[in-house]
């Protein structure tokens, strides 16, 4: 039986006992209905995970005894950064959740010219914290023990200028080259990472596409259909994993 996995935002190395924060404690006791003596696993986002046993359950905290460390790793061999135009409401949560499940290494939310989402500094900070929690939950579910980095929102021009990825892609309906061909031509550049730029609901502005091209982003497409902004990242990340990542992985048999 697969054990429940819980992310804790504190270093676990060398710890014998920890107290879960109130929200995680409530999830364990009230939602999962786990109690004293039940086993689970915890991870801190730094790699690997630990066996744990519930010592006690209180109204606001749950105490765990930390046991054996397991040096597990299911990270993708592709270092993909998703440069994503911020979508409205739950659509962005869906993108963060599914991109995490699909192995993305970092997510750069974008304040695009055509975006319907406007954020001031305080709202942007709250959004990043919320998306980090969404990513942590996706890691708990998917078996990942390293959290993707959620970067502060910025403009398309700022994100493109900051990218050092070996292969830089803009997903566009008039993409110049199919994705498989671009991957084949990239060769060893894939070792320096992949950046994928996707616009918001209204798409990228012409000036943003031009800036991306100036910074080495190459237009690509995924077939003849127009994908919604919440569909596009899931499709391209799946395609990358299938073509050059770990979708051919199989568990070792005893």
Residue 36: predicted pLDDT: 87
Architecture category of domain 80-244 in CATH: 3-Layer(aba) Sandwich (3.40)
Q: Where in the chain are all domains bearing CATH 3.40.1280.10?
A: 80-244
Answer whether 197's CB lies under 8 Å from 169's CB: yes
* pLDDT for position 252: 64
Domain with CATH 2.40.240.20 in the chain: 5-70
- Which option is the CATH number for 5-70: 3.40.50.2300, 2.40.240.20, 3.40.640.10, 3.10.450.240? 2.40.240.20
For residue 4, give every residue at least 6 positions away whose Cβ sits within 8 Å of its Cβ, in sequence order, or none. Answer: 28, 32, 34, 40, 41
pLDDT per position as a tens digit, 129-150: 999 999 999 999 999 999 999 9
**pLDDT exceeds cutoff 80 at 251:** no
Residue 198: phi, psi to the nearest 5?
Answer: -135, 135
Of 103, 145, 148, nearest in space to 7 by CA: 145
């Amino acid at each position: 039986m697969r054990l429940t996995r819980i992310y804790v935002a504190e270093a676990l190395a060398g710890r014998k006992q920890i107290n879960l924060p109130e929200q995680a404690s409530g999830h364990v006791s009230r939602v999962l209905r786990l109690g004293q003596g039940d086993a689970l696993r915890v991870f801190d986002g730094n790699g690997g995970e630990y066996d744990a046993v519930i010592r006690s359950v209180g109204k606001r905290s749950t105490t765990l005894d930390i046991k054996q460390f397991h040096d597990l790793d299911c990270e993708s061999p592709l270092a993909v950064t998703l440069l994503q135009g911020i979508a409205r409401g739950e659509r962005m949560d869906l993108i963060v959740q599914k991109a995490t499940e699909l192995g993305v290494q970092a997510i750069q939310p974008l304040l695009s010219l055509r975006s319907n989402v406007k954020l001031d500094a305080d709202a942007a900070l709250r959004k990043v914290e919320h998306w980090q929690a969404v990513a942590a939950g996706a890691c708990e579910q998917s078996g990942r023990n390293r959290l993707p980095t959620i970067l502060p929102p910025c403009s398309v021009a700022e994100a493109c200028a900051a990218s050092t990825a070996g292969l830089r892609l803009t997903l566009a309906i008039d993409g110049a080259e199919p994705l498989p061909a671009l991957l084949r031509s990239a060769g060893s550049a894939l070792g320096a990472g992949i950046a994928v730029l996707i616009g918001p609901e209204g798409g990228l502005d012409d000036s943003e596409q031009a800036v991306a091209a100036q910074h080495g982003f190459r237009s690509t497409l995924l077939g003849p259909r127009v994908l919604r902004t919440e569909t596009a990242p899931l499709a391209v990340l799946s395609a990358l994993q299938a073509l050059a990542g770990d979708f051919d992985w199989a568990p070792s048999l005893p």
